[in-house]
Amino acid sequence: MKLWQKNYTVDQQIEAFTVGQDRELDSLLAPYDILGSLAHIRMLEKIGLLTADEQAALAAALRRLYGKAETGELEIEAGVEDIHSQVELMLTRELGEAGKKIHAGRSRNDQVLVDLRLFFRAELQQIAELGVQLFRTLTELAQQHKNVLLPGYTHFQAAMPSSFGLWFGAYAESLVDDMNLLQAVYHNINRNPLGSAAGYGTSFPLDRRLTTELLGFQDLNYNVVHAQMGRGKSELFLSYALASVAHTLGKLASDVVLYVSQNFAFLSFPDELTTGSSIMPHKKNPDVFELIRARCNLLQSLPAQVSQLTGSLPSGYHRDFQLLKEAVFPAIQYLKDCLAMLNHALPQARVNPYILEDERYQYLFSVEAVNELVLQGLPFRDAYQRVGQQIADGSFSPPETIRHTHEGSIGNLCLEEIGRKMEAVMKGFPFERVRAAIDRLLGWT
């Protein structure tokens, strides 16, 4: 069954090729397709294209279907092209003529646009919540281990003293930046394209502001051509947000892989979080962090993939857009999996408190020695030359203490300030307002 079915049968090879993975991927869109239809029929009743009784019967049936979609019981039948066709088919079976009326005033083009916006909006909320959970884990670890020093590196060479407080805290603040971008993408996506039809509007007197309110959207995509051009652009914006979070997580995972190796031994994890070797009985491999790193590297290529798929297309709908789901849907799940795994594993990290007792790290303190001389009145360049000569002739003696007090340094991590930054970002997401709108639409409140 196809919404565009006419009096001929499509070649089976053509059908298989053009449908692709749509039926499998559309199962993820099922709840959102039903939400869009619930809003649409309320609007159709208001403008006189459905009677009150028809709208009530359709709404009750759609809410039952929503329950099935939420539990995974709603399946796309063999021979049915997509979730839009499946929902309309089931409504028509149950309600007859009323089921055939739900497509008035819309096209599959704006229908899938709404589905995707609602789906992306919900997924972004899950990513944000997982990100905040990881942020809290990182700030707790930073506070717990703030006095444990470790080497800071530049060019893979031991450079200056750092600390686990700085290291964990750095990734926490990086997540704040990522959540800022995520919020911007959320607001961009949280706009209603329903009513743009095939991309050029319709002669029906649609009330697009009503469906905007019913679905909890922040505003409309006003221009109908612009609304259609959001297909591909929304995915591109989303891909940048995913890639940004992945950049942070991938670098963190890469650090962990390095730090748990025997040559560093800065960190360790319980045996249960590692894997073994088929031939070397001593091995405890950080496979989980290597896979996080690999998945995050793939995620950072997503913007290029989306851009390549859509960049040369003129305005209007093109079937090319179908392939976006095959790239973006798995990427969303990859990122959620990586965040969930880090939330599981990182709290079990064990830090080595004795790293800097190793003599190989004594030159980490050369800058501290230079700064002490400057504080005593020696010009910086002269102090630099003096300490450099001590290192060269073997007479350098590292300072016993370090004094870093400025904002964001070893002795002043500013974790409370960073926490307030994250709190402000999260307040910018309208999650509660969106949830309330959806609850009302489903008749839950």
Locate the DSSP E strands across 261-309: 267-268
Q: What band does 7 get if pLDDT is binned at 50, 70 and 90?
A: low
Q: How far apart are the first and last CA of the chain?
A: 35
Q: Which whole-number Å values give the CA distances from 66 to 34, 194, 236, 394, in the listed order? A: 6, 19, 29, 75
Residues 225, 241: Cα–Cα separation, whole Å: 25
Inter-residue contact 134 to 338 (CB < 8 Å)? no
Q: Are 292 and 249 contacting, i.e. CB atoms less than 8 angstroms apart?
A: yes
Listed by start position, the domains of the chain span 12-100, 108-143+164-194+223-356+414-440, 358-413
- The pLDDT > 90 percentage for the chain reads 83
pLDDT value of residue 9:
60
* Dist CA 103 CA 88 (whole Å): 8
Q: Is the pLDDT of residue 282 over 80?
A: no
Per residue in 402-440, pLDDT tens? Answer: 889 999 999 999 999 999 999 999 999 999 999 999 999
Cα(364)–Cα(405) distance, rounded to whole angstroms?
Answer: 18
pLDDT at residue 5 greater than cutoff 60: no
Distance CA 87, CA 31 (A): 10
Q: How confident is the model at residue 296 (pLDDT cuts 50, 70, 90)?
A: very high
Sign of CA dihedral 255, 258, 264, 268: positive
184-198, 269-283, 296-310, 431-445: segment of lowest average pLDDT: 269-283
- Output phi, psi for 203, to 5 deg: -80, -5
Q: Given this model, what pLDDT does residue 307 score?
A: 95
d(CA 38, CA 46): 13
The pLDDT of residue 252 is: 98
CB 335 within 8 A of CB 244: no
Side-chain half-sphere exposure of 335, counting CA atoms within 13 A: 32
3, pLDDT greater than 60:
no
Instruction: Taking residues 270-279, report their average pLDDT.
Output: 76
pLDDT number for residue 274: 75
For residue 14, pLDDT beyond 70? no
pLDDT reported for residue 46: 97
The whole-angstrom separation of Cα 370 and Cα 381 is 9
Q: Which residues contact 304 (CB under 8 A, 6 or more apart)?
A: none
DSSP string, 118-147: HHHHHHHHHHHHHHHHHHHHHHHHHHHTTT
Distances (CA, A) of 204 to 42, 46, 184: 14, 12, 33
Query: Which whole number is the average pLDDT over 80-85?
Result: 88
pLDDT at 1 over 90: no
Higher pLDDT, 211 or 317: 211
- Copy the structure tokens of residue 106: 């819309």
Structure tokens that stand for 212 in this block: 């905007």
Residue 188, both tokens:
């961009």
Mean pLDDT across 328-347? 97
Residues 231 and 317 sit within 8 Å (Cβ to Cβ): yes
List all residues 6 or more positions away from 151 whose beta carbon is below 8 Å from its beta carbon.
158, 159, 161, 162, 355, 356, 361, 364
Q: What is the mean pLDDT of residues 106-132?
A: 97
Q: Using a pLDDT cut of 70, give the percent of the chain over it.
A: 94
Could you read off the pLDDT of 150-208 as tens digits, one per residue? Answer: 999 999 999 999 999 999 999 999 999 999 999 999 999 999 999 999 999 999 999 99
Residue carrying structure tokens 């959320």: 186
CATH of range 108-143+164-194+223-356+414-440; options 3.30.750.24, 1.20.200.10, 3.40.980.10, 3.40.640.10: 1.20.200.10
Q: Which residues pair with 275 in a beta bridge?
A: 285
φ and ψ at 152, to 5 degrees?
-95, 140
**CATH architecture label of 12-100:** Orthogonal Bundle (1.10)
Decide which of 433 and 5 is more confident: 433
Contact by Cβ (8 Å): 121, 189: yes
Residue 399: partners with Cβ closer than 8 Å, 6 or more residues away: 365, 368, 369, 372
Average pLDDT, the chain: 93
Residue 8 has pLDDT above 90, yes or no: no
Hunting for tokens 């703030």 — which residue is that? 146
Higher pLDDT, 78 or 218: 218
The pLDDT, as a whole number, for residue 79 is 81
DSSP class of residue 308 equals H
Query: What mean pLDDT do residues 66-78 have?
Result: 92
Q: Look at residue 37 in the predicted model and tell me its pLDDT.
A: 97
User: Quick one: CA dihedral 57, 60, 66, 71, positive or negative?
Assistant: negative
> Sorting pLDDT into bands at 50, 70 and 90, what band is 4?
very low
